[in-house]
Amino acid sequence: MIALYPGSFDPITFGHLDIIERASRLFSKVIVAVLKNPNKTPLFSPEQRQAQISLSVAHLKNVEVDTFSGLTVAYARQRGAKVIVRGLRVLSDFDVELQMAHTNKLLAPELETLFLATASEHSFVSSSLVKEVAKLGGPIDHLVPPPVVQDLRERFPLAG
């Protein structure tokens, strides 16, 4: 069964990677899909994020990385996914994710949403936090995979 893990991943964190690794054990194929959202101004381009993720999941043979725009359910149908995987860090994530799951179910009744709780050691990590720490020159090696550390150090020379 194919699962889709969509998101902005700007940048991917160890929390995201935890969800991807666990989903890869549950499904025959996991597609990590970087959303191209014209309403947001990301730090990294979709292509850069795709490359960061690809390098970070190279050890997972059943994981593919792609980019998409538009409705997640339309992309899921196009790729033959039956499940949309969503990660939860904190209770407030659940409120937003549950609304999205209900909307997706209305739009595509054949798709299921699977919520995975991020491992507790990563529950405080968000992409926004990572970018803020990097901008201020703080250590980021424990927050993001090595390819992202390298890109953040290039973007913010003080990043540790």
CA 78 vs. chain centroid, Å, equals 19
Specify burial of residue 8 (Cβ count, 10 A radius: 0-12, 13-18, 19+): middle
The rounded distance, in Å, linking the Cα atoms of 143 and 149 is 9
Q: Determine the 3-state secondary structure of 51 from DSSP.
A: helix
Catalytic residues: 16, 40, 89, 127
Helices H / strands E in the chain, number of each:
6, 5
The rounded distance, in Å, linking the Cα atoms of 94 and 100 is 10
Cite the DSSP H helix spans in the chain: 14-26, 46-56, 72-79, 91-107, 127-135, 146-155
- Work out the number of other CB atoms within 10 angstroms of the CB of residue 113: 15
